[in-house]
Structure 1
Amino acid sequence: MLKPRTFLYAAVALAATLTLSSCAGGSPATDSANPSASQTTAAFNSADVTFAQMMIPHHEQAVQMSDDLLAKDGIEQSVIDIATEIKAAQEPEIAQLKDWLAAWGEDESSMSGMDGMGGGSDGMMSDNDMMALQDASGVEASTLFLEQMTVHHEGAVAMAQLEIDDGENADAQAMAATIVKTQTAEIAVMAELLASL
């Protein structure tokens, strides 16, 4: 588990560095002319922006996975409960992340984007993964959901930890801390549920 997180950290750090260097025009003297640096409405930096831009599609996919599972018959109540909990936690966070980006004058999508991470290190499911979950039923669907969401959560926790380490916006860092706490707890619950299926 450590390797994907380490890879994710390196990849996001590289993306952030490239973003910063492109904003700065490669010259430290231009840093003071950076428009985002002069916005005092809410203190934020490139790590905050990257966190919000990457977490929105990440959360949206988790909500879609939960919806796909909740639409099925014959699912254990305990699995329904965790899917419902995940959806209820992440939908308001998506709205908040979008609000922050709007307030910061940033686009919701990044040029580097989720696709730029590669290798699934961010925990995002592929189209084939999503199709497999949609097509599965009963215990197979529950198992697949729990396995996929565990990987998905691990990616989110790693992304949130980067925000805690490198972000500047206090509200975004608070959300990141909440994500680390709640999703780490959910990973433990999902491991127990998997063992019981």
Structure 2
Amino acid sequence: MNLTTLHAAIILLTVALVIGIGIYHSRSIKSAAGYSVGGRSAGVPLVAGSIAGTVVGGGATIGTAQLAFNFGLSAWWFTLGSGIAFILMGLFYARRMRGTGLETIPQFLSLNYGKKAEELSSVISSIGILFSAVASCLPGIEIISSLSGLDPMISSVLLIVMVIGSTFFGGMKSASVGRRLIIVIIWVYIFVSGF
């Protein structure tokens, strides 16, 4: 695929905008809690944007479309399962979790079911996050390789640098704002592509 100068400029502008938002929001981070849970100042739009941005990312859009092309409707389970899980978490766990002042679900489980539950849920959560990260990174690597013509290994390094740049500086708050921006960009691109 050959990129025009306009396409390359739009891609670079988008990446710079998302990373710039992360750097901008990093200035308001003053503590570990500020980094990991946004200082508990995130309202419903910020949290919902973060969750939606996590689910409606490269894995759910490009990745699911690619898998659906290869395997049919079975590719839909990741996106469908994520959506159902987030709805259940929002309905039954979010309010109770926020009220405890804890930062992670394993901490919450430890409080209610003991240290063994915390350890087990930490391992299970880590494995789930690893699978989710791989599912999100594979389409990203493919997109970068296809658009730039770069080797997949170099594309992997670029993706890692972009992810670190967009989340490292500002933690949860910058990731939330960045993911909401990405959703807007995806919708704008879909709308423009329709014409």
TM-score of the aligned structures, taking structure 2 as reference length: 0.31
The structure that is helix-richer by fraction is 2
- Larger RCO, structure (CA 8 Å, separation 6 or more): 2
TM-score of the aligned structures, taking structure 1 as reference length: 0.31
